[in-house]
Structure 1
Amino acid sequence: MPGFESIVDQEKPVRLLSSIIQKGKIPHALLFTGIEGVGKRKAASVFAMACNCLAATFPNQQVSDTEIDHETEGRPPSPCGSCKSCRKIISGNHPDVISIQPDRDHIRIGQIRDLCHMLAMKPYEARYRVVVISDAHALNPGAGNSLLKVLEEPPDRTILVLTAHHLHDLLPTIASRCQHIRFNPISHDVLTDFLVTKKGISLREADLLATLAKGSLTGALSLVSSGWIEQRAWILQMMDKEPFSQSPLDRVTTLLAFSEKLAQKKDRVEDALEILKIWFRDLMIYQLSPDMVVNKDLSHTLKRLSEEAAMDDLLSAYDAIQSAQEKLNGNANPRLTLDVMMMKLTEFDHEKSCRHPI
């Protein structure tokens, strides 16, 4: 993470942040918005490095109520990444770069009060103390009001960087006191190229994972590390066991055995159901718009099965899987939920709509 060049496919945000640093007019509060995994937190860390890089000099620093002014003639727009300050920020050990994250889905007032106590003191060693509040949309009402007081009376030599999914997720009084920078989803082509060049996977698989990631680099990397391609192959193979050509009773037995194996992989159940849902979704979509399917690498199979399967049956299967997802999110018993789902999947011609030769 040496500098702004490490932030993937975010030319406009990088240009804005570089311009802020070069002009020497750094707002006391910045708000980065965008979907998860597009580089908001990385940009905040690089920005903190750029503000405190020891490779640059900052004579005659002046701080006002609205912005921090300094002379920046000859200053590089990106941090060096090798000085003492940069190395501490990269390792997460800088005492003046503070990170606030949600505690069980919420940022609580106690966290902001603790932050206020820290901000009452001067920075230990940094030119500018940087506070990164991740997922600021998770601020509860009390925490939001407490943070608003900080924004109304910003501490000396302190920059707050908030990240959120959408501008409107925050209180208008908080958003209005921040300079807003929007991070767009990463393009499909850039994600595909990144996965091919940096992760060494095939172009066909990279194209599939880029589609599933929906513009999120973090999402794409998570799919690679979790072995999504291999998991899909296992699930579709399990759905294509020989008993599908046997009697309905044998078919039920096979699916319940699959349910048992799936329930044992508790950390993979959510991904497995999503894979199944996408598969049935593709079977439905292929009948209407083949170019819109996700599993493009299995187009020949989707074409054959979509011609054989009835739309009503596919809709029933999709609804059964979605219902199972909702129940599991509500802490239902995993084994029982999966068994019920599999029983519903046997109510129509499974041999036609699920078979997939691996």
Structure 2
Amino acid sequence: MSVFDQLVGQDRVVDTLRQTLTTSGAMTHAWLITGPPGSGRSVAARAFAAALQCERADDPGCGDCQACRMVMAGSHPDVRVVDTEQTFIKVDEARELVVEAQARPSIGRWRVIVVEDADRLNDHSANTMLKSLEEPPARTLWLLCAPSLEDVLVTIRSRCRHLRLGTPPVTAVAELLISRDGIDPPMAHYAARAAQSHIGIARRLARDEHARNRRREITSIPLTLTSLGAALRAAQDLVDDAGQGAKAMSEDYADEQRRELLTQLGADPSARTQPPAVRSHLKRLDDRLKAEARRQQHDSFDAALTDLASVYRDALLVATGSEVEPVNVSEPEQISRLARALRPEGLLRALETIGLARQRLIANGAPLLVLEAMMIGLMLPTDQGADHGAAGGAGRPRAGTRR
């Protein structure tokens, strides 16, 4: 099984990478791989890294040799994968990568640096990496990943060869869930469409009933926003749900990580106090765990807003008579009611309101205040049956929103 088989619905990208591997002089020292969430940016980078180290010259990326297996498992010494939990990649980490990029490969043919969140490079960390990106050693390769070109600083993207992934077809994602994870076909197709072809989310929806129930709760929110109190409660529910997920992760995961660290340091995990040197390691671990919890909370908000926006998107399709297939195919009555309650202009403004909330959360806005403002902006018109109608709360400015 080839390492490229995991790239679902990306035949053009796979062909480009294979051609690069087999054509003399076609290799580029720095790549920028972009694509929407769930398209497989990180998978493409890891698969390419495995193919570069593959032991079979006639079939690079075979997936069977030791080098391929080590890269895909994250244990190859010549492949460094950076997956930050911080808001930005710090200068110190960028310097470490530059130093590592100068080293010769130890057992493989290439030294490969994979930065999964290149959009998190700020001006300072990006400037630290520019020289190495432009003129790396002969056997060093940079693979940077980001949602789009616009998310990456121009100084970075101008030094890279761009490789763009598209959104994989729903059918391709469903087939992957069926063949790889053993999911029943009806559930696989539901999950793939509800996840909007995001492979990771689709897999979670297909396997986790709680995730499916939570998504149904979120997609039912629009028709409940009939009063200020309902809007504020909906915002609080989203914050509480995200907080519970982050808390569960931090409590269960943190204890395990602390025990593992203390064992590695030769310290007694049951001791009430630890030596100063051990305490400094624990402090760094606590900082990392807090950053991971914040990232978990942000991811929860982002997934909720994506699901919420899908309802208004589907209602807009109905309101405008579009023949595009909806995301929420199992809820036609709810979608039709929302389309009748809001004009197309109001539905568009609802999508803008959700987009603004997402931007404010990325900018570290207070989650409860941001979501309260969003829910107030999404409130339904008082008279939902008026067909001369107001565009609803999403169609006119309200307190806490900005037009």
Same fold (TM over 0.5): yes
Alignment of 1:184-199 (within 5 A): 184-199=166-181
Q: Contact (CA 8 Å) 1:260, 1:335: kept in 2 or not?
A: no
SS of the residue aligned with 1:131?
strand
Q: Is 1:76–2:48 an aligned residue pair?
A: no
SS of the residue aligned with 1:76?
coil
Change (3 A) 1:222 1:350: farther
SS of the residue aligned with 2:128?
helix
User: 1:4 is matched by which residue type in structure 2?
Assistant: F
Q: Contact (CA 8 Å) 2:78, 2:106: kept in 1 or not?
A: yes
Displacement of 1:130 in angstroms is 0.9
Displacement of 1:216 in angstroms is 3.2
User: Paired residue for 2:102, among 107, 115, 120?
Assistant: 120
Query: Which stretch of the first structure deviates more once superposed, 87-96 or 165-174?
Result: 165-174
Change (3 A) 1:99 1:283: closer
Q: Is 1:216–2:216 an aligned residue pair?
A: no
Q: Is 1:166–2:148 an aligned residue pair?
A: yes
Other-structure match for 1:35: 36
Q: Which has the higher contact order (CA 8 A, sep 6+)?
A: 1
- Structure 2 stretches lacking a partner, 5+ long: 244-299, 387-403
1-structure distance, mates of 2:374, 2:116:
39
Structure whose CA Rg is larger: 1
How well do the aligned residues superpose, as a CA RMSD in angstroms? 4.3
User: 2:44 is matched by which residue type in structure 1?
Assistant: A
User: Paired residue for 1:348, among 379, 382, 402?
Assistant: 382
Q: Is 1:266–2:242 an aligned residue pair?
A: yes
1:329-356 C-alpha deviation (Å, 9 max, x unpaired): 765474996699589858736899xxxx
Q: How many residues align?
A: 326
Aligned-residue identity in percent: 27
1-structure distance, mates of 2:379, 2:385:
11
2-structure distance, mates of 1:344, 1:4:
43
Q: Contact (CA 8 Å) 1:34, 1:183: kept in 2 or not?
A: yes
Q: Contact (CA 8 Å) 1:281, 1:318: kept in 2 or not?
A: no
Alignment of 1:184-333 (within 5 A): 184-199=166-181, 200-203=183-186, 206-224=188-206, 227-234=210-217, 264-267=240-243, 271=303, 275-276=307-308, 278-279=310-311, 282-283=314-315, 285-289=317-321, 291-292=323-324, 293-303=326-336, 306=339, 309=341, 311=343, 318=350, 322=354, 331-332=365-366
2-structure distance, mates of 1:170, 1:338:
30
User: 2:382 is matched by which residue type in structure 1?
Assistant: F
Other-structure match for 1:179: 161
Other-structure match for 2:129: 147
2-structure distance, mates of 1:254, 1:171:
41
Change (3 A) 1:324 1:169: closer
User: 2:131 is matched by which residue type in structure 1?
Assistant: K
2-structure distance, mates of 1:220, 1:231:
14
User: 1:187 is matched by which residue type in structure 2?
Assistant: P
2-structure distance, mates of 1:36, 1:240:
27
Other-structure match for 1:18: 18
Displacement of 1:104 in angstroms is 1.8
User: 1:175 is matched by which residue type in structure 2?
Assistant: R
Displacement of 1:149 in angstroms is 0.8
Q: Is 1:47–2:80 an aligned residue pair?
A: no
